[in-house]
A and B are shown apart, each in its own frame.
Chain A
Amino acid sequence: MNEAAPRYYVPHSSPWPIIGSTALFVTAFGAASFIHQSTEKVAAEGSFGQPIFFTGLALIAFMMFGWFSIVIKESIRGMNSGLLDRTYRMGMAWFILSEVMFFGAFFGALFYARIVSVPWLAGASNNLETHVLLWPDFADTWPLFMTPGGDATEAMEAWGLPFINTVILVSSSLTVTFAHWALRKNSRLPLVIWLATTVVLGATFLALQVVEYIHAYTELGLSMGAGIYGSTFFMLTGFHGAHVTMGTIMLTVMLLRCLSGHFSSENHFAFEAVTWYWHFVDVVWLFLFTFVYWF
């Protein structure tokens, strides 16, 4: 730790935030235009949305690279006092809480569909007339094999690929913990091996998820358009998959940083933050496995 470091390091003006917000704007504008132009609702007038969207994503990646680079440099120069370390820890913890609430919205939708809307459509509570008048043939089942509108699908079996994926993800939570223990003991080789194992497990999970999606679309008739079961299935597993993708990228960056010797046994919060994130993604999966696949 640098003796001259102030009590709390307040960075001077930085170009990265404004690059970031501009990048976000480009991405957002591109995404909205892209969605517009790629669906039949709006007549396609040339798809300028797509290139703008990907330009925006590239800018965001550039911003993150640049922004994190200066943070890393500051950390290596010893600008990070104990207080700043606490800032990063708290910041990450609260960020994960916000992510929990984001998944909470989709779990809420799942539970609402299962407990309220599907039974109600079949006449539960005081909705007998709705049932008789609108869709008298509709039956309350979960997974919802046949929607009131007549879309049919089969359910995803929990004890095939999803169970294998559960084992993979839970093991990856263990391997990342072993990597952390190795880092705390400054044992470089086990650290790299365990972390690399975690990255491989994450990537395997994603690959199997792709296989599962193909199976769902081509063999089960399970798609986003297959009613509320398909909607909740794909939105929950899809956002989870997106988070696993982010997590795997973050783990890969951590692996590269470990190889570059950025971390010491005391100063490695970036690594820890990624492990927190990884455990969070794991816990979300356990809920998914329980409520989306199993029960």
Chain B
Amino acid sequence: MVAQAEDVIPQRSPLMAFMARWLLTTNHKEIGTLYLWLSFTLFFIGGAMAMVIRLELFQPGIQFAEPLFYNQMVTMHGLIMVFGVVMPGFVGLANWQIPLMIGAPDMAMPRLNNFSFWILPFAFTLLLSSLFMEGGAPNFGWTFYAPLSTTYGPPSTDFFIIGVHMMGISSVLGAINVIVTIFNLRTPGMTLMKMPLFVWTWLITAFLLIMVMPVLAGVVTMMLTDRHFDTSFFSAAGGGDPLMFQHVFWFFGHPEVYILILPGFGIASQIIPTFARKRLFGYHSMVFASAAIAFLSFIVWGHHMFTAGMPVWVELSFMYATMLIAVPTGVKVFNWVATMWRGSMTFETPMLFALGFVILFTIGGFSGLMLALVPADFQYHDTFFVVAHFHYVLYPGAIFGTMAAVYYWIPKWTGNMYDERLGKIHFWTAVIAVNLTFFPMHFTGLAGMPRRIVDYSLQFADFNMVSSVGAALLGMTQVLFLYIVIKTIRGGAKASTRVWEGADGLEWTVPSPAPHHTFETPPAFPPIMDENESTSLNE
């Protein structure tokens, strides 16, 4: 073959070889690894900012952070966690797993894949550099409402805007790659309704990304021109409206929150059947529920703006549409529980995280229903109740989902089993710490503690102290996770091909660790699973 000629690489120093490997790679596994490490790195940076926030809120009064700096921490924490941790984490999993799960030789556009990844470190360099600029980093919250971000935004806001543009380009290109890979490179025989659910949920996620990331690009562009080129999109004196910012932003923002959770749904739907040793209950309804959630996500954005000023009939329409989302979500939760019903269950770490996901995410879903009610929302709006709600869906939802996926697939990636004892310690401390941190926020929020304020009234002191202790524990737990991951990469019990006794799917037919190139010829589907070979840790 002609292409082989390019394989002959001249001798390089180890550093050059290392750089060349990771900078120039077109391999979906290497790019997946890059995404995951970027996400993990930013997880600790964003986490450190959360620690500053919790340290300041440990007691009432202003101890460690000036109000302006506190606002910067709140803003950057949100931006980094949403755009730098959860999204790249899921893209990393998609890169590793989608080709393995559908029997593809790689992502459909491998060079574009490299491009999508390497935009991100630059984008976050730009975003983080704003911390050191005159006037400080963006300080208007991750939702960057006008006019806080237009008329009153610090000079670094322009760097934030350009950074968001870069993240948008990366996400859209990555999403196109995912969709095309799924539509074009499935192994013969794998029809759409036979795809693993992780692939299905990522297909829908990628569709959402393509639909809404350009809208985000549009809204930050309007911000930029309002700031510097005299336009009046968000200025009433020119006939525009600051409220319009919220409409355009949340048209992006609400589908965005499903972008942050749908792959997690897919992960739970892979893991629970494996450890319940049963087929997934209600596969078709899972697919349709995911699609229904994606559709509804486009017509509910106004529920973020109930107190901002809309006609009553508009508020009611958004309220009813929002409450409808509980139906497909309920279908999903029912199906996960029904999958476990009379299953032959074991509780390895991935399963624990998946179960934590199902239970705690559902709590976040319920508080979401409470927030969906227009009259109730007038009380909850902009309080810590909202903070509790979205941290319940993001931490035990998106983050636990990602961690479950890492434990579930890391034996396939590295060829080594992780340390099950440490994994269980990680799970139990994390699950306790998550609840310790975020559950009290429901109470302070209902009692009226506003979010995004550096100081608070004395009566909230006890619950805030509990939250801060929980947060410190939660932060330390993730250092343990880092240790577990590194330990697994460096060694451990050898993983078999199938890894888990109940595992099913094409990714469990390739050796562990998965070779550099897999499925250069399309595999047989449905796969023939090796019944005898498994290293279930409970044996």
Binding site for B on A (CB under 8 A): 2, 4-18, 20-22, 24-25, 28-29, 31-32, 35-36, 39, 41-42, 67, 77, 79, 83, 86-87, 90-91, 94-95, 97-99, 101-102, 104-106, 108-109, 112-113, 116-118, 120-121, 125-126, 134, 144, 147-149, 151, 223-225, 227-232, 234-235
Contacts and interface: CB of A to CB of B under 8 A. Distances in A.
10 contacts: A8-B105, A9-B3, A10-B110, A11-B110, A25-B123, A28-B122, A32-B162, A94-B210, A116-B244, A231-B238
Interface of B: 1-3, 6-7, 20-21, 23-27, 104-106, 108-112, 114-115, 118-119, 122-123, 125-126, 155, 158-159, 161-163, 165-166, 169, 172, 175-177, 179-180, 183-185, 210-215, 217-219, 221-222, 224-225, 227-233, 236-241, 243-244, 247-248, 251, 311, 517, 520-522
A24 B240 contact: no
A113 to B, nearest CB: 6
Given A109-B248, A126-B311, A20 B115 contact: yes
A90 B233 contact: no
Given A17-B112, A224-B229, 16 more contacts: A8-B105, A14-B24, A16-B115, A17-B26, A31-B162, A32-B159, A41-B228, A86-B184, A97-B211, A108-B215, A109-B248, A112-B247, A225-B230, A227-B232, A227-B239, A228-B232
Contact of B105 (A10, A106, A118): A10
A104 B228 contact: no
Interface hub of B118, B177, B185, B219 (most chain A Cβ within 10 A): B118
B364 to A, nearest CB: 28
A216 to B, nearest CB: 14
B238 A147 contact: yes
B239 A104 contact: no
B407 to A, nearest CB: 29
Of the candidates B111, B184, B239, the one having the most CB atoms from chain A within 10 angstroms of its own CB is: B239
B521 A7 contact: yes
B2 A77 contact: yes
B366 to A, nearest CB: 32
B236 A148 contact: yes
B111 A14 contact: yes
A39 B226 CA distance: 12
B122 A24 contact: yes
A16 B24 CA distance: 8
Contacts of A10: 26, 105-106, 110, 517
Q: What are the 5 A-B residue pairs with the smallest beta carbon separation, nearest first?
A: A105-B218, A225-B230, A149-B237, A231-B231, A117-B241
Given A79-B3, A87-B184, A109-B248, A41 B238 contact: no
B24 A15 contact: yes
A141 to B, nearest CB: 10
Contacts of B219: 105
Contacts of B122: 21-22, 24-25, 28
Given A39-B228, A104-B214, A87 B105 contact: no
A98 B213 contact: yes
Contacts of B108: 87, 90-91
A79 B111 CA distance: 15
A227 B126 contact: no
B212 A101 contact: yes
Nearest to B9: A13
A287 B211 CA distance: 19
Contact of A113 (B104, B210, B229, B239): B239
